A = this chain, B = another copy of it.
Amino acid sequence: MTEKFQTLDKALENLEKGRRARKGKFYLKDKTITLSHGSGGTASHNLIGGMIGKIFSNPILDKMDDSAILPINGSDTRLAFTTDSYVVSPIFFPGGNIGEIAVNGTVNDLAVSGADPLWISVGLILEEGFPIAELKKIIESMQAAAEKAGVHIVTGDTKVVHRGSADKIFINTAGIGIFQDQISLSSLNAEPGDKVLLSGPIGDHGIAVMLAREALDIETDIQSDTAPLNGLIHALLDATKAVHCLKDATRGGVATVLNEIALNSNVAIAIEEDSVPIRPEVNGACEILGLDPLTIANEGRFIAIVASEDAETAVRALQNHPQGSEACIIGEVLEEPEGMVFLRTALGGHRVLDMLVGDPLPRIC
């Protein structure tokens, strides 16, 4: 169940208590790791908030944003530092491959923190027997992605495990960016009245990967949206200083990102369902597969929370950039109910939009 169909009143009754309890509290009752712990949704949050983040706790980590922000002693310089591992299956899919998303994903985590991405590390875990020609193709894609994003791959590591001990190739990238000014973007910063912007149509990456899996036989030309977002984000931040929060909508999709913002900023978020751009093919595939496009991973889309008075300027700045032509305002930030996200449907109803529960699409990135 990734959605709960209910009226807003009913939803509030059922969920508000749960939300309040969830803020800062995590329930990790599982004895073993399940695929859901890697979904980016509630199980991931419980594993990280309930154990990993608790043990590693320190003021920098505790912010739990896409990048850690590192002040350099004795200077004004602040670094952004982030990491992600990529385990997507299949490793080649329409519109990209595992190497491309490994570079773009880390570039984007740095960019949404407001930093200029500069340097990337690459850790490869290879399965014995993996074809070197495929590895070469992946490495070439990574270099092409790095060049497109204007970053350099500066350090790396290669490990090999026995046949059957890994699935072909896993890639970790970490990245360093530098903040050019004293910008502060954070999921803590959304304010009632702010507008919610989306940089383009959603669901392409998740559906492209899903349809590339052998078991399925649906023909479409959906391509992954994997792309470096630093150029588009630069255009946005140059146009207005009133951006409060940026988040790329990867694992868990737009629904999960909006819930994180609502929870962290103690606000509600209302989304106009009809205003969310979704390609008809993606919508169709979602209907066939029983998936909610709002919970599907993207690799080249972000949510921006922008002060109301600058929202139009912001949308225009995005639309004027080649990567942002379909950017739009999809909703607004409200004072309450705190920590809640809901959809206003075309028929005037309301539907609570929860964080991703379970993992309908494991190994999507």
Interface residues of A, Cβ cutoff 8 Å to B: 28, 30-38, 44, 47-48, 51-52, 55-56, 58, 60-61, 67-68, 70, 72, 75, 77, 79, 81-87, 89, 118-119, 121-133, 135-136, 139-140, 142-143, 146, 152-162, 164-167, 170, 172, 174, 176, 178, 362-363
Contacts and interface: CB of A to CB of B under 8 A. Distances in A.
Going nearest first, the 5 A-B pairs with the smallest beta carbon separation are A38-B160, A174-B174, A172-B172, A68-B154, A83-B121
Given A152-B58, A162-B35, A119 B68 contact: yes
A181 to B, nearest CB: 13
26 contacts: A32-B128, A33-B131, A36-B160, A37-B126, A38-B126, A38-B158, A52-B135, A55-B139, A56-B122, A61-B152, A61-B153, A68-B155, A72-B77, A72-B178, A82-B121, A82-B155, A83-B123, A83-B156, A83-B157, A83-B172, A85-B157, A87-B166, A123-B172, A159-B170, A161-B362, A172-B174
Contacts of A33: 126-132, 135, 160
Contacts of A82: 121, 155
Given A32-B132, A72-B178, A87-B159, 8 more contacts: A31-B133, A55-B142, A56-B146, A58-B153, A61-B156, A70-B119, A81-B154, A161-B170
Given A121-B174, A139-B56, A153-B58, A158 B79 contact: no
Contacts of A126: 33, 37-38
Q: What is the oligomeric copy number? A: 2
Contact of A129 (B32, B129, B157, B174): B32
A132 B34 CA distance: 10
A51 to B, nearest CB: 6
Contacts of A83: 121-123, 155-157, 172, 174
Contact of A362 (B75, B156, B160, B174): B160
B55 A140 contact: yes
A139 B72 contact: no
Contact of A32 (B86, B130, B139, B143): B130
Given A38-B160, A162-B35, A125 B51 contact: no
Given A61-B154, A122-B83, A172-B172, A56 B132 contact: no
Contacts of A166: 87, 165-167, 170
